[in-house]
């Protein structure tokens, strides 16, 4: 059995939650390896809707182990609230089915506040963050002043760490004429929740190695999408972590030979939340129609997503960088009512055709999409479970994506329901 890493190949919101849940039926362990509670996954299982943010998608299944890796930044209060909400839906969560990396960095209230201060400032560009403190927490991690899960176990050490982190943050707040952090309250609040978080704390790298030796099947679950990668995305309109498949190794402590199959989740059209370049965006009735039919609102923020035609240039680039072996194509049913469909097959920049998304923000905002037109199928695909039952024009559309990107289509999702999936290649074999 192979171990599979699942990532988004666009700007997130590709439907990773459903696919990971579908894969987790055959997996033993499901691991989150980057991001925070700024990215949500919506699962529909047996008619019950689960909206997850930090918890891995496998948590809703019995006899599975869910792991939050060290690459994730964790808001402990948000996590405890999420656990409470999921338990209300009948899911039991304990230290037998949920592990948290002891070296994962915590998101503190000061991080959330700084996120909001920056977004509201007239002196900085608006990135369109979720204001949940993700970026500031990663900054403190890289700045070597972050507070980690393991730090909650020792009050004396915790106080020392808080002094270090507040020296930095209070300096910033003082300069911005903002109220300084209440140290006593922060310490009190952290100490209060410490036992509730520490009971899940484990050396995750060691546990994954043990599972590997026992031949357990592991799914590594990414958040956001590759075009939000802090190095390879539309910088600076990106998230604060690496979202490509390679970050699964650093974000969990597993060795490169642990993962055998990279599965990229790809939506049959393109969406984006927040600010930043979007070459195929449709600022018209067609874009609005895609949004309505696809119910394109963020799981976490409920923000309306920007919608556009499928960008094959962008997806191919994502697949190359992550070493994708298979594409899970989602939301094909959203396109059922369109007479004409378009796929971006190149960009025009300064009068010349190019076949990749450049790294420069200035160039990203200048490029114009070059489209190939396809006849729509104007037939219902929702709920179809076999390739042969798809309309011929839908098959043509999907084959083109496969051939252009040079990657097999491993599955096709035809509705939000887990069972409405066409399996063409089993990633576990």
- Positions annotated as catalytic residues are 13, 41
Cα(262)–Cα(6) distance, rounded to whole angstroms?
A: 6
Structural tokens at position 66: 């869910």
SS3 67: strand
Helix 155-175, helix 183-198: angle, nearest 10: 130
Cα(28)–Cα(26) distance, rounded to whole angstroms?
A: 7
Residue with tokens 């999409």: 369
| Residue 61 φ/ψ, nearest 5 degrees | -105, 145
For residue 14, whether the previous peptide bond is cis, meaning omega lies within 30 degrees of 0, is no
CA-wise closest residue to 265 among 217, 226, 308: 226
Cα(314)–Cα(317) distance, rounded to whole angstroms?
A: 5
Cα(328)–Cα(265) distance, rounded to whole angstroms?
A: 5
Cα(365)–Cα(363) distance, rounded to whole angstroms?
A: 5
Cα(210)–Cα(152) distance, rounded to whole angstroms?
A: 26
Cα(300)–Cα(285) distance, rounded to whole angstroms?
A: 25
Query: If DSSP states are collapsed to H, E and C, what string results for 126-170?
Result: CCCCCCCCHHHHHHHHHCCCCCEHHHHHCHHHHHHHHHHHHHHHH
**Angle CA 141–143–146, to nearest 5:** 40
CA-wise closest residue to 80 among 61, 107, 58, 48: 107
């Amino acid at each position: 059995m192979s171990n599979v890493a699942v990532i988004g190949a666009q700007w997130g919101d590709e439907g990773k939650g459903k696919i990971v849940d579908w894969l987790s039926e055959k997996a033993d362990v499901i691991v989150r390896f980057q991001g925070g509670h700024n990215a949500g996954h919506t699962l529909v299982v047996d008619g019950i809707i689960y909206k997850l943010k930090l918890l891995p998608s496998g948590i809703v299944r019995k006899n599975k182990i869910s792991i939050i890796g060290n690459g994730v930044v964790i808001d402990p209060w948000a996590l405890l609230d999420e656990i409470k909400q999921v338990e209300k839906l009948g899911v039991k969560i304990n230290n037998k089915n949920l592990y948290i990396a002891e070296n994962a960095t915590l998101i503190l209230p000061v991080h959330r506040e700084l996120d909001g201060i920056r977004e509201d400032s007239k002196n900085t560009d608006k990135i369109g963050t979720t204001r949940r403190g993700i970026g500031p927490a990663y900054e403190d991690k890289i700045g070597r002043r972050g507070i980690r899960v393991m730090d909650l176990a020792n009050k004396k050490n915790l106080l020392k760490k808080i002094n270090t982190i507040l020296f930095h943050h209070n300096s910033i707040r003082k300069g911005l004429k903002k109220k300084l952090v209440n140290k006593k309250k922060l310490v009190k609040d952290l100490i209060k929740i410490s036992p509730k978080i520490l009971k899940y704390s484990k050396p995750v790298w060691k546990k994954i190695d043990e599972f590997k030796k026992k031949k357990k099947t592991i799914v590594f679950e990414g958040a956001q999408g590759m075009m939000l990668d802090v190095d390879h995305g539309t910088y600076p309109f990106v998230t604060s972590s690496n979202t490509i498949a390679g970050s699964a190794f650093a974000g969990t402590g597993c060795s490169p030979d642990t993962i055998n199959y990279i599965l990229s989740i790809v939506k049959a059209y393109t969406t984006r939340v927040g600010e930043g370049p979007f070459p195929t965006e449709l600022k018209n009735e067609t874009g609005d129609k895609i949004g309505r039919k696809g119910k394109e609102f963020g799981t976490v923020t409920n923000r309306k997503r920007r919608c556009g035609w499928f960008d094959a240039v962008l997806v191919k680039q994502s697949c190359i960088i992550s070493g994708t072996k298979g594409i899970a194509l989602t939301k094909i049913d959203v396109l059922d009512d369109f007479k004409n469909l378009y796929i971006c097959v190149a960009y025009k920049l300064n009068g010349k055709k190019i076949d990749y998304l450049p790294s420069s923000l200035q160039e990203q905002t200048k490029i114009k999409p070059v489209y190939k037109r396809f006849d729509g199928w104007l037939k219902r695909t929702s709920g179809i479970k076999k390739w042969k039952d798809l309309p011929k024009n839908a098959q043509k559309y999907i084959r083109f994506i496969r051939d252009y990107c040079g990657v097999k289509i491993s599955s096709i999702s035809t509705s939000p329901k887990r069972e409405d999936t066409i399996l063409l290649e089993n990633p576990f074999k």
